[in-house]
Copies of this chain bind each other. A is one copy, B any other.
Amino acid sequence: MLPWWAELAGRIDEHIVTSELLRGNPLGDPAERPLWVYVPPGYDEEPDRRYPAVYVIQGYTGHVAMWRNRSAYRQPFPECADALFAGGEAPPAIVVYVDAWTAYGGSQFVDSRGTGRYHSYLCDEVVPWVDAHYRTVASSACRAITGKSSGGFGAMITPMLRPDLFGALATHAGDALYEHCYIPEFGTAVRLLRDYDGDIWRWWDDFRSRVSFTKEADQHLLMLLGVSACFSAREDGTVELPFDPRTGMLRPDVWQRWLDWDPVRMAPRYAHALRSLQAIWIDAGRRAARGRGGRRGGQVRAVRRHPRRHRLPVPALARLAMRAYCAGQGRVIRWPR
């Protein structure tokens, strides 16, 4: 395998789409967004054939141009997926690479007064655009979503909220079980905020004034700021942290707004939606950071408590997920088995 480049059997089209829903978003991020659409080998040769579509979303600080990144001895995801279709390991599918970047590094794929309407952008603008411009099978039974980390979170909640659009999900190390996922981070944040008198905006000013990610605080506080903007912005868009930044004490009402977005806690509420899905793939990840050992199990259990009957064969999604994360990075829970 040569490291410099690879030929795809299929093709990636790089588009810019103009979003009405993101226009005038609170952070002033562009409403013109990159959108990549991959078509599998044979797409052009069989002009009447329609294809299922897999939407791929990214983890925190990810943006769509990073799918092009290369590193030694590893094949980028888009090439892995292409090879799967080229080798006949999975039935051909259209793969949609969605960008939901914000100035804070991410959107958690929710509609928020703090960042913008990224959930609606995905569901009400990107999906129709893709269906209009590509030969998809425009039904939830043939539309899946997958992602890792924050993208894994998005892949869990989007079909819960919109089972009419997405009929399958694959989540890899998605954020869940927030007491273990986030509370240890809050303790770290309080310590790091001491250098900024407990004021996250002083850190933000500092962060933007210099080369990024050269301080330990950067990755922790960026995500804290961004997720707070997604989950607990006030009506007027003001960001509220879920804890007192000087003492670390939880602010119960703000924290509850976060918990309302915890997939483990959402699962019972959205049990009907989950049961309607064609396929659920949960890959718990292996490199569980210290203190996070518990979160994955909770995630899986919550899903297991709300099972569904197996109706359709698992689509390309599961194979895609397996191939993409085949690094042995965790215990894989396949659902349906």
Residue among A180, A186, A192 with the highest chain B CB neighbour number at 10 A: A180
Residue among A71, A187, A246, A326 with the highest chain B CB neighbour number at 10 A: A187
- When the two chains form their complex, are residues A65 and B70 in contact, meaning their CB atoms are under 8 A apart? yes
- When the two chains form their complex, are residues B291 and A247 in contact, meaning their CB atoms are under 8 A apart? no
8 A Cβ contacts from A35-71 to B: 61-66, 68-71
- When the two chains form their complex, are residues A74 and B212 in contact, meaning their CB atoms are under 8 A apart? yes
CA distance A186 to B191 in the complex (A): 20
* A288 sits at the interface (CB 8 A): yes
8 A Cβ contacts from A70-106 to B: 70-74, 99, 101, 105
Q: How large is the interface on A (under 10, 10 to 19, 20 to 34, 35 or more residues)?
A: 35 or more
- When the two chains form their complex, are residues A297 and B247 in contact, meaning their CB atoms are under 8 A apart? yes
CA distance A3 to B297 in the complex (A): 35
- When the two chains form their complex, are residues A294 and B3 in contact, meaning their CB atoms are under 8 A apart? no
Residues of B within 8 A of A249 (CB): 177, 179, 264, 294, 298
A-B contact pairs, 19 of them (CB 8 A): A3-B65, A61-B72, A66-B71, A68-B70, A177-B249, A179-B248, A180-B187, A180-B190, A183-B183, A184-B290, A187-B293, A189-B294, A190-B294, A190-B297, A194-B293, A210-B328, A243-B294, A246-B301, A247-B301
